[in-house]
């Protein structure tokens, strides 16, 4: 019995030392394998965590981009609605202005019925006929005044062109005859104006010619202005009537 136990102990020792030697021989390889397993596990865990973070980041970005896009669309819709509303208001304002201007023009500027009643009363109203006669006379006076101013300008231009006929101390001119009690009006005009070259055109202004004031033309323009003021003050309370071609159109029926 003792021999059997001793033999088993010897075998156990041999087996222990054999296994210990094998373990020492494989320790480096097992350490490397364990390190590789640990690195793989840790890498898998980190990759899984990064994948989780990536998914959550995508969800956050999606929610934020949706929010900003909806806000931008709301702003665009609000701007489009404001533009549409302003266009509608402008169109309505144009319609209101068009209706009001048409009404105002038809009622106060080109009133058909008022003009019709005016022309009907024009045939029988002696006061209106008198106003028209005064207006026609005023126009005739104005045309005559303008014609006189035109003639005066022509005389001034002729005097400028004929300035060489001016009298001198040694030689009297053709317009300053010694047999006249007073010099001719052309002689007086020659003394007032200056000579002008033939290439120059006559001035259209009746008030002054080359810096020399024309008393006749100034008096004519003053007369025309005074006549306009007088006529406007006389007929201020009455409406201005259009001119007529002759008196026959206003009083044939009377």
* All structural domains of the chain with their residue ranges: 37-110, 127-244
pLDDT over threshold 70, residue 239: no
List Cα–Cα distances, 138 to 32, 152, 208, 221, 223, in angstroms: 130, 21, 25, 14, 12
Q: Which residues of 117-144 are buried (b: 16+ CB within 10 A; e: fewer)?
A: eeeeebeebeebbebbeebeebeeeeee
Can you tell me the mean pLDDT for 43-56? 95
* Predicted pLDDT at 248: 47
* Predicted pLDDT at 225: 55
d(CA 140, CA 134) in angstroms, rounded, equals: 10
Can you tell me the mean pLDDT for 87-92? 96
d(CA 3, CA 145) in angstroms, rounded, equals: 172
Exposed / middle / buried, residue 244 (Cβ in 10 Å: 0-12, 13-18, 19+): middle
* Predicted pLDDT at 85: 95
Regarding predicted confidence, which is higher, 94 or 110? 94
* Predicted pLDDT at 188: 78
pLDDT over threshold 90, residue 187: no
Residues 183, 176 contacting (CB under 8 angstroms): yes
* Predicted pLDDT at 175: 75
pLDDT over threshold 90, residue 172: no
pLDDT over threshold 70, residue 147: yes
Residues 6 or more apart whose CB falls under 8 angstroms from that of 223 comprise 145
d(CA 216, CA 218) in angstroms, rounded, equals: 5
Provide φ and ψ at 209, rounded to 5°: -125, 110
d(CA 231, CA 215) in angstroms, rounded, equals: 24
- Supply the DSSP symbol for 243: P
For residue 210, how many other CB atoms are within 10 A of its CB?
13
> Whole-prediction pTM value?
0.31
Name which of 4-13, 26-35, 141-150, 235-244 the model is least confident about. Answer: 235-244
Residues 173, 190 contacting (CB under 8 angstroms): yes
Residues 247, 129 contacting (CB under 8 angstroms): yes
Provide φ and ψ at 207, rounded to 5°: -85, -35
The residues pairing with 213 across neighbouring beta strands, listed in sequence order, are: 208
């Amino acid at each position: 019995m003792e021999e059997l136990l001793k033999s088993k102990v010897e075998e156990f020792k041999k087996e222990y030392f054999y296994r210990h030697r094998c373990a020492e021989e494989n320790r480096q390889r097992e350490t490397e394998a364990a390190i590789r397993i640990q690195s793989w596990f840790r890498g898998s865990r980190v990759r899984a965590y990064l994948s989780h973070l990536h998914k959550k980041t995508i969800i956050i970005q999606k929610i934020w981009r949706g929010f900003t896009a909806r806000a931008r669309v709301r702003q665009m819709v609000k701007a489009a609605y404001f533009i549409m509303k302003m266009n509608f208001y402008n169109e309505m304002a144009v319609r209101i202005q068009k209706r009001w201007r048409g009404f105002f023009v038809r009622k106060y500027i080109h009133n058909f019925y008022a003009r019709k009643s005016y022309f009907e009363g024009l045939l029988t109203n002696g006061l209106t006929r008198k106003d028209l006669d005064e207006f026609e006379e005023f126009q005739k006076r104005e045309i005559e005044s303008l014609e006189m101013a035109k003639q005066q300008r022509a005389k001034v231009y002729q005097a400028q062109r004929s300035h060489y006929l001016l009298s001198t101390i040694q030689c009297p001119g053709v317009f300053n005859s010694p047999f006249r009690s007073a010099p001719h009006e052309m002689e007086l005009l020659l003394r007032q104006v200056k000579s002008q070259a033939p290439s120059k055109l006559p001035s259209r202004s009746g008030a002054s010619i080359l810096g020399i004031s024309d008393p006749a033309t100034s008096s004519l323009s003053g007369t025309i202005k005074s006549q306009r003021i007088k006529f406007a003050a006389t007929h201020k309370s009455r409406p201005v009537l259009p001119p007529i071609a002759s008196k026959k159109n206003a009083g044939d029926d009377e």
